[in-house]
Copies of this chain bind each other. A is one copy, B any other.
Amino acid sequence: MFLVRKTKQRDAIQQVFEEAERPLSPDEVRAEADKLFPGIGIATIYRNLKSLVETGHLKVVEIPGAAALYEVSGLAHHHHFQCDDCEKVYDIPGCPGNLDHMTPPGFQVSSHSITLFGTCPDCKE
């Protein structure tokens, strides 16, 4: 990918993320983008997700035991919650902060990932 050109499909995908309120899977992105650009192919979704991550527009959200999700970058440092029931993933603010006391001697930490699991408000009845 040398130069990144503007296309209807790419615009549609970016717009999907601007309107999303939680991290989305490639299939969810496809379903939403298809409303804006009917017939968009799944390979196009994957290719654009990858290039949007490379250009810094999106970030990959990795949840343990699940396929990758994507969200707009530029949000403050935060973590995620996955509902045990509906499996949707939500952004949650906050961070326990310094995890140095968990770092064993000889190891050097560059980043961390925290995911909470449980029941989301929608599924809590």
Q: Does A74 touch B at the CB level, under 8 Å? A: no
The reply to whether B102 and A121 contact each other, CB–CB distance below 8 Å, is no
In the complex, how many angstroms separate the beta carbon of A59 from the nearest chain B beta carbon? 12
In the assembled complex, 30 residue pairs joining A and B whose CB atoms fall closer than 8 Å, in A order, are A60-B65, A64-B64, A64-B115, A65-B68, A81-B103, A81-B107, A81-B109, A90-B107, A92-B102, A92-B103, A92-B107, A93-B102, A95-B102, A96-B102, A99-B116, A103-B118, A106-B121, A107-B116, A107-B118, A107-B121, A108-B119, A108-B124, A109-B117, A109-B118, A110-B117, A111-B118, A112-B114, A112-B116, A113-B114, A113-B115
Q: What is the minimal beta-carbon distance from A46 to any residue of chain B, in angstroms?
A: 16
Interface residues of A (CB under 8 A from B): 60, 62-65, 68, 79, 81, 84, 90, 92-96, 99, 101-104, 106-121, 124
Q: How far is the CA of A84 from the CA of B124 in the complex (A)?
A: 37
Q: Is the CB of A64 within 8 A of B113?
A: yes
- Complex CA gap A34/B16 in Å reads 48
Nearest CB of B to A113, in Å: 5
Contacts of A84 in B (CB 8 A): 110
Contact B116–A92 (Cβ < 8 Å): no
